[in-house]
Amino acid sequence: MSSPVLHAFFVGRALADAVNERAERLLTDGLSLVGKFDAEQREYLRQFTDEVMARAQQAEAEAGEVYSGVTPTAAATATDLQATIDTLRAEIAQVRVALQQYRATSQV
């Protein structure tokens, strides 16, 4: 005793299950492809970064300096940089004083 309404219900249910499984498979495959693409791009970026760093180290070695992250002259350079900054500040102070003196004499 199969009524058409009951038959339509089971067909609809089977259709919904099949569509759900297909959608699940498509979503899983899509996410898998996205993950694979992301992993490949990260690997390509890592390889590119390694290649650039190797070239930089090679160029630096050819120039006579060995790359070690922080060069021994970095501390000396920092000291020299601080001395240069102090000198520039002193010169700026002298220029300000001279400018103030000039302004004071030109107003009179």
Angstrom distance (rounded) from CA 86 to CA 83: 5
Q: Tell if the pTM clears 0.85, that is, is over it.
A: no
Per-residue burial over 77-96, b if 16 or more Cβ lie within 10 Å, else e, is eeeeeeeeeeeeeeeeeeee
Query: Which tens digits make up the pLDDT trace of 16-65?
Result: 999 999 999 999 999 999 999 999 999 999 999 999 999 999 988 888 75
Closest CA to 56 of 44, 74, 69: 69
pLDDT band of residue 2 (cuts 50, 70, 90) is confident
DSSP H helical ranges for the chain: 4-62, 73-107
Query: Which tens digits make up the pLDDT trace of 88-100?
Result: 999 999 999 989 9
Residue type, position 16, single letter: A
| Residue-averaged pLDDT of the chain | 85
